[in-house]
Homo-oligomer: A and B are copies of this chain.
């Protein structure tokens, strides 16, 4: 039997998540059986005693950490960031130099976001929301009369901007639609895109040729607001612009103007302010499908975080590198700009 002393020590500070949010009851049992869990105030890790710090193998969460505290943690192998945006609140250079892995679990959102993205595309293609609302009010149009603007996703030209976990998940849910998919991702070698069965393309090409354009790029120090009036003007008339990652990558005013003018149609899960003011014009904008940052935050996604954490801690317990979560990288950790979430 595993005794108290054998179990590796884990500091738990998963705010804004909670262990109950990210672990199923069974996974929680497995966690407790295999590890000694010390629940800690994320803002007071330094206040923990050396008996804890000196033995801690893993941290679940991303509490602020300073050099001194890290020096008191000689056994630390990984910080498992379950919020999944990386805040600049710890000396990453020290962590990388020491070989302490910093991993994030944002991949859990890929599948739910991709499903909502596909749903948005199909909704726009078939006018489902307005058709149902019209039906409620007795003004529905029947058969072909209601399909004046309807079109198929199958066989269409699809663009994807950003080919991380979200882009790959979109590619997968699109696999039954025989679409031609072009991808713009300057951080990704062309050959990896080709291996994934999509065509590498410039931003200009993706904008100009897509019938459905999905934006799943992370915000970085280089791409804030890179999709503006000029980009929307370059799109095909009637094309659908579907925003799933972060509002900061677009000029939101310009996006609304492009929809208002009738040039394109759009859907978005993200907004410049969240929550959004009650009088924001996007609320009444025709040709715009709204979702209130609901794409990823499914309970099943949060529970998958716990599973990923357990799998990677198991690998590291066996002196293997983590493979399930995504590792923060020296080169890019300081270039990420997504704001952390305050609610789950």
Contacts and interface: CB of A to CB of B under 8 A. Distances in A.
Contacts of A88: none
A324 B284 contact: no
Interface stretch (A56-64, A244-252, A290-298): A290-298
Given A115-B126, A152-B112, A311 B189 contact: yes
Contact of A323 (B111, B143, B192, B323): B192
A134 B143 CA distance: 27
13 contacts: A99-B330, A115-B152, A115-B177, A128-B289, A129-B133, A131-B291, A132-B289, A136-B284, A142-B294, A144-B297, A151-B298, A175-B175, A191-B307
A190 interface: yes
Contacts of A150: 112, 294, 298
Interface string A282-307: 01100001111110011110100001
Contact of A119 (B98, B119, B314, B341): B119
Contacts of A233: none
A119 B129 contact: no
User: How big is the A interface, by class?
Assistant: 35 or more
Given A143-B343, A145-B343, A99 B99 contact: no
* Count of identical protomers in the assembly: 4
Contacts of A289: 128, 132
A298 B150 CA distance: 7
B131 A132 contact: no
A13 to B, nearest CB: 20
B144 A343 contact: yes
Nearest to A308: B191
Closest 8 A/B residue pairs (Cβ): A119-B122, A175-B176, A189-B311, A144-B297, A135-B290, A140-B292, A173-B176, A138-B278
